[in-house]
A and B are shown apart, each in its own frame.
Chain A
Amino acid sequence: MLVKMSSASLKQTQWYEYGIRFLLGGLATVFTGLVSARLGVAIGGLFLALPVIFCASATLIESHERRAKENAGLRRRRRGQQAAALDAAGAGLGSIGLAAFAATFSALVAANVIGAFATAMLVWAVVSVAAWWLRRKLRITSLIPQAKR
């Protein structure tokens, strides 16, 4: 199976780490509202894709990986960086889905608000997963000839 669910990292995560994400998410939403009110809707729209949550996630992933590898006696720092880089690569692919979300919502919201939200979320999920799957397929294909050499 390509994608799996695991509750192991939930056990690893401390309650305050969710508190940090809640705080950052809340602050980013308030900040976006303030930017729209003060600087206009065009600049406010940019900040809907602000990577503030990503900073917290990448740092937490790095520290979790370091902790896990420390227990296993492996190179902690490098593994932590690699885990955070994988997360960043995923976010890069997800940003294609985010752009598709914005384009779909923009096109449909005048006709039907609920329908625009539902369709935009569906488009975000489909485009993001498709981009990830395609990247994975291309990577596997490009690795096969190297392995044969």
Chain B
Amino acid sequence: MTEYVFRFVAGGVIVTAFAILGDVLRPKSFAGLFGAAPSVALATLSIAVVQHGPQYAAAESRTMIYGAAALACYSVAVCQLLMRFRFPALPATIIASVVWLAVAFALLGGFGGVAA
């Protein structure tokens, strides 16, 4: 239980810090870079190193590359839904999650994960 409380606080603090940084920077496309900041990864990989060791964290970060590729496709899908199909932001970001899931699991299925 303590581990999950620590995860929650660490994740929340790092994500909020990157969000504040993104808020103060202009232009908006530059601030958007912080939408893909490794905020959840920093908290999770730190805990993974302490709990399971560097090999486990290395294996976890290897499949994170697939997640990042899926995030690129997700961002394109969100742009299209907003600009071409004129969806409001909330439904656009939720619907595009299907793209993220499909690409991430297709890459994992195609190239495979690495067991720790």
Chain A residues proximal to chain B, CB less than 8 Å: 2-7, 9-10, 13, 18, 21-30, 32-33, 36, 40-55, 57-59, 61-62, 77-78, 80-99, 101-103, 105-106, 109-110, 113, 116-117, 120-121, 124, 128-129, 132, 135-136
Contacts and interface: CB of A to CB of B under 8 A. Distances in A.
Contacts of A109: 45, 49, 54, 57-58, 61
Interface in B35-64: 35-49, 54-64
A45 to B, nearest CB: 3
**Interface residue tally of chain B, by bracket?**
35 or more
B8 A82 contact: no
A124 B72 contact: no
A21 to B, nearest CB: 5
Contacts of B10: 29
* Chain B facing A: main interface SS: helix
A28 B66 contact: no
Contacts of B100: 50-51
